[in-house]
A = this chain, B = another copy of it.
Amino acid sequence: MTTPHVQLRRIEFADTDMAGIVHFANFFRFMEAAEHDLFRSLGFTLHRGVGGGGESMSGWARVDARCEYHAPLRYEDLVAVEVRVREKGRSSVSYDLEFRLEERAGEPQPDRPLVASGRLTTVHVIRAPGEERMKAAPIPPEVDAALEARSAPPEVDPPSARG
């Protein structure tokens, strides 16, 4: 529905395994990189500062991660990792992710086939100064607003305005 945030990524040699394709665990690294790229595009960094202060630390713990694999990715493939906010709670955000093949062996892929779909569920956590454990905390208001705006369907003219 809403336009996803898209991060383009060139598959590297070290991403592959002896089956000649991208190792399945690396799709999770790529999902996280797209999530972080979305945050950066909104003006936030995930590293110290998102709602943090003083010496406290703030971050997003992963509580659930999953991926369905439809087709392999190969060395030098150009892949678009598309991330959408799926659901947002008081302290949690989940994302839907799609991996689309943009280019293979130097050839553009006009159909952009879906090679994998994933989901990532995260919880905003804070670690108070001097403590070791992180605990769940409400999403900082400015982050919440930015994600909300990002999730909102694109505004359309009301029917009357179109006629």
Contact = CB atoms under 8 A, between A and B. Distances in A.
Interface stretch (A15-23, A87-95, A141-149): A15-23
Nearest to A14: B29
Interface stretch (A54-62, A107-115, A154-162): A54-62
A67 B68 contact: no
7 nearest A-B pairs in the assembled complex, by CB-CB distance? A66-B66, A25-B28, A16-B18, A24-B62, A14-B29, A18-B20, A47-B75
Interface in A1-51: 12-14, 16-21, 23-26, 28-29, 32-33, 36, 40, 45-47
Contacts of A13: 17-18, 23, 32-33, 36, 46-47
B18 A47 contact: yes
A65 interface: yes
A89 to B, nearest CB: 16
Contacts of A36: 12-13, 76
Contacts of A59: 19
A25 B33 contact: no
A61 B21 CA distance: 10
A127 to B, nearest CB: 9
Contacts of A46: 13, 75
Nearest to A20: B18
